[in-house]
Chain A
Amino acid sequence: MDEYITTAVQAITERYAAQASEFRGQVTLLVASEYIVDTCRVLRDEFGFEMLAAQTGVDYWPEQAPRFHVVYQLNSLSHNRRLSLRVPMDGNAPMIPTVESVYPNANWHEREIYDMFGIRFEGHSDLRRILMPYDWVGHPLRKDYPLGYEEVQFSFNYDEIDRRKPYAKE
């Protein structure tokens, strides 16, 4: 952790009670979901992290509290530093405020996370599925979503197979 990152991390941990950790030289801040918009705004305006490089989710099923993490990768072009943020969240109806107001490109990233993990973003301008078809059931990247190998259902045995089929839990 170099000096510049340390200052930024200190500011965030003091103001928003975040926890810092380091793995292979990359610094991660664990932030509570109610502070994520403020954290992003402070990092962008005061510490020059002007770009949201990536945003994704991770599912820790069968753990329930927290079950999901949303991971933000911030990039500062002017200082040539990277920082990542993590927001843990409950497995039951996961919800997190959108950071669209700070980084507009979060729009598609958050649509993708909603599509793949079923995490809803509060205040998002256009929360629709993006990669899967609009009438798709389930969220594919959840760990309890089956990966293929499903029995083919025909009309004569549809209900019989349907009973034992591992369905994606919403």
Chain B
Amino acid sequence: MFEKTEITLDELRHLVSNRAIEGDTVLLNMGPQHPSTHGVLRLLLELDGEIVVNCIPDVGFLHTGIEKNMEAKTYEKADVMTDRLDYLNTVGNNLVYCLAIEKLVELDVPLRAQVIRVILTELQRIASHLVWLGTHALDLAAMSLFLYCFREREIILDIIEMCGGQRMMATFFRPGGLWRDVPVEFEDAVRDILRTFPARIDQYERLLTKNPLFMDRTKKIGVLTKEDALRWGVTGPILRASGVAYDLRKAQPYSGYELYEFDVPTQTDGDTYARYVVRIEEMRQSLRIVQQAMDKLPYGPTRSNNRKFVPPPRSELGTSMEAVIHHFKLWTEGFQAPQGGLYVPVESPRGELGVYLEGDGGPYPYRVYWRTPSFVNLQILPLLSKGHLVADLVALIGTIDIVLGDVDR
């Protein structure tokens, strides 16, 4: 009835050293239910006393088959699944998926929609870094910072709720623009953050940057060289902390990022402290981008008026027969995309977030592949943790900044 495959110790033998087989070192499970693994991550540790000899990550506990599910939905309806991948960067996931569709069917996005996309993505980047900072500090026993970070994060999530109706899974970005225009309160709320937030970042820095306890726990911990970072395909703040000034927003701009002035912060040490410094500075740069975007936010439509791909506004449905037909066609059959595959990457708070989208001429995506930064970055954990204490391993999981929804998809 069932074909039961038992996993034998022999199959795992190549993962641990010979000392574990002889009983010289101890094998220990950390997770999947462990507060400092930031989700359901299981680590199989081979320990010599308290020193990590080997670390074998075991992922997949949060696998929900999003790629398979998206193949069974029309292009626009599959957009809803994208928020669920990286739940700390929901609008960023929408963005890359919409960019991929817009490239596949050659759809233009109005300027106002592009600018609002940039504002919300950058605010989301700050919110994501705040969760990272709060939990990372909490792992290293700095309790109060966690409370401050989550207080500020809630203000940003309030703005996303104001626009899309939900704090996290708003699916606010749609192929061809936005779901709707932002409300009138939007501008004041964002300006409020721009006014108060720089002082808040200084406050976090006062608590951590020169804190000797924090520096002891992070300096020279988990050093990643530039060569290793490139070999292992690591991207985002981890790559920049190892001395490579590579940011997709600068290198291959999308959604109008070439119009904004900002710096790409880098460090050369490649340790946990350097990654902290890079991420803190990134929050400041994101604020700079939001400031410039708010100043140039133009008036105009927020979704493309190409009716073959974008549903007409509600107001037209009562007066135009053609609008009703388009509405019906787009929400039942969906639009058809040409045959061909393309890969679109963007810079998420964690690194290169890419979508490989392949169409087959029909209304369903033939293949959607998510290149998620957490999945690739988590691979370096065994490399980083070798020879460190178990307590440092907790700092290393925090510094890689994984989101398990992003790893397991």
Question: A residues within 8 Å of B by Cβ?
Answer: 23-24, 26, 28, 50-54, 56, 58-59, 71, 73, 75, 77, 80, 82, 84, 103-105, 107-108, 116, 125-126, 128-135, 137, 140-141, 145, 147, 158-159, 162
Contacts and interface: CB of A to CB of B under 8 A. Distances in A.
Interface of B is mostly: mixed
Contacts of A135: 4-7
B103 interface: yes
Contact of A58 (B104, B252, B358): B358
Given A53-B345, A105-B376, A131-B408, 11 more contacts: A23-B341, A23-B342, A54-B343, A58-B367, A71-B369, A77-B244, A131-B409, A134-B5, A135-B7, A140-B65, A141-B67
B49 interface: no
Contacts of B106: 24
Nearest to B7: A134
A73 B342 CA distance: 10
Interface string B329-345: 00000000000111101
Given A24-B104, A84-B343, A140-B65, A53 B233 contact: yes
Contacts of A107: 379
B232 A56 contact: no
Contact of B59 (A73, A126, A130, A141): A130
A128 B11 CA distance: 9
A162 B3 CA distance: 13
A133 B409 CA distance: 14
B346 to A, nearest CB: 12
A24 B354 contact: no
Closest 8 CB pairs of A and B: A54-B371, A105-B233, A131-B60, A56-B369, A23-B340, A131-B63, A135-B5, A105-B232
Nearest to B367: A58
B291 to A, nearest CB: 27
A149 to B, nearest CB: 10
16 contacts: A23-B341, A23-B342, A24-B106, A24-B342, A71-B369, A73-B356, A80-B252, A104-B232, A105-B232, A108-B376, A108-B379, A131-B59, A131-B63, A135-B6, A147-B68, A162-B1
A31 to B, nearest CB: 15
A73 B355 CA distance: 11
Contacts of A50: 230-231
Contact of A24 (B14, B103, B246, B367): B103
